């Protein structure tokens, strides 16, 4: 079955290029030239992925992203930004975007990002061995319920995004083992041989810590191994 990508971008020439590239790869595309239309199509047409420009008429990409998430949709969102500013990337990721691409982009990079983000959503179980038993209990306080794709702390469910759930589930199944940001990009974000910007990992870890740690500044669950990466403690 064909996958559908929603393109939200106000420059018709970029829409045309994106549509051409994606169609050639076998995707169906939907197009929106402003924020409100993009939001409406994202919620009503159930696309498999949203490519979201930041600077849009009527409602900018940040707001569209925030409203898609507020409506409960978990659709992968890849931001398109012409800007190099770290702030924009981080803000977008914090509002619930999964990834971003800097314009001008290479066709191959675009296709790789789209594929990786769709594949991640389609996966029912993350990779490597060491699968935790359903209902993995982590020390006294955390429990991963795989049937419900939920994590409980002290018996109370945590409000995690799909990515945050994937991340803690991956790390918690391998306690004490340190994973580099690149390795997490590969296993949790599902980029093969990823060598680019791994800031998304740091942002996700920070958000996850804010939700699961008593003191995010002194984490006991998701720990940092300086200069190496992250691991699950406890």
Chain residues that interact with Ca ion, rule: CB under 5 A: 10, 53, 55
Nearer to Ca ion, 56 or 138 (CB): 56
3-state SS, one letter per residue, for 28-84: EEEEECCHHHHHHHHHHCCCCEEEEECCCCCCCHHHHHHHHHHCCCCCCEEEEECCC
- Give kind and range of the element (H or E) at residue 229: strand 229-232
Which residue, 51 or 75, is less far from Ca ion as judged by CB?
51
Give the nearer residue to Ca ion in terms of CB position, either 48 or 53: 53
Tell the smallest beta-carbon distance from residue 45 to Ca ion (Å): 21
Task: Work out whether strand 229-232 and strand 222-225 pair parallel, antiparallel, or are unpaired.
Answer: antiparallel
* CB 234, min distance to Ca ion, A: 45
Structure tokens at 26: 């076998």
> What's the CA gap between 130 and 210, in Å, rounded?
26
CB of 82 to Ca ion, least distance (A): 7
Cβ of residue 10: shortest distance to Ca ion, in angstroms? 4
CA distance 86 to 23: 31
* Closest CB to Ca ion: residue number: 55
CA distance 100 to 77: 8
Contact assessment for residue 77 and residue 68, using Cβ atoms and an 8 Å cutoff: yes
Residue 5 or 151 with smaller CB distance to Ca ion: 5
Q: Report the nearest approach of Ca ion to the CB of residue 56 (Å).
A: 6
Q: State which residue, 10 or 182, has the beta carbon closest to Ca ion.
A: 10
């Amino acid at each position: 079955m064909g996958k559908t990508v929603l393109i939200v971008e106000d420059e018709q020439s970029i829409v045309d290029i994106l549509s051409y590239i994606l169609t050639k790869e076998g995707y169906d595309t939907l197009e929106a030239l402003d924020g409100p239309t993009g939001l409406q199509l994202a919620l009503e047409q159930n696309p498999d992925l949203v490519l979201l420009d930041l600077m849009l008429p009527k409602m900018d990409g940040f707001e569209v992203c925030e409203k898609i998430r507020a409506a409960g949709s978990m659709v992968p969102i890849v931001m398109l930004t012409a800007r190099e500013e770290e702030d924009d990337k981080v803000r977008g990721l914090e509002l619930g975007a999964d990834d971003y691409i800097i314009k001008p982009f290479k066709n191959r990079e675009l296709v790789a990002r789209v594929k990786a983000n769709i594949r991640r959503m389609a996966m029912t179980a993350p990779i490597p061995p060491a699968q935790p038993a359903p209902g993995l209990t982590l020390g006294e306080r955390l429990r991963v319920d795989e049937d419900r794709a939920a994590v409980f702390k002290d018996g109370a469910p945590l409000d995690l995004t799909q990515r945050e759930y994937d991340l803690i589930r991956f790390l918690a199944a391998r306690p004490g083992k340190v994973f580099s940001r690149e390795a997490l990009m590969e296993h949790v974000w599902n980029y093969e041989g990823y060598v680019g910007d791994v800031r998304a990992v740091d942002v996700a870890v920070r958000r996850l810590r804010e939700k699961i740690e008593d003191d995010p500044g002194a984490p006991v669950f998701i720990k940092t191994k300086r200069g190496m990466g992250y691991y699950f403690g406890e």
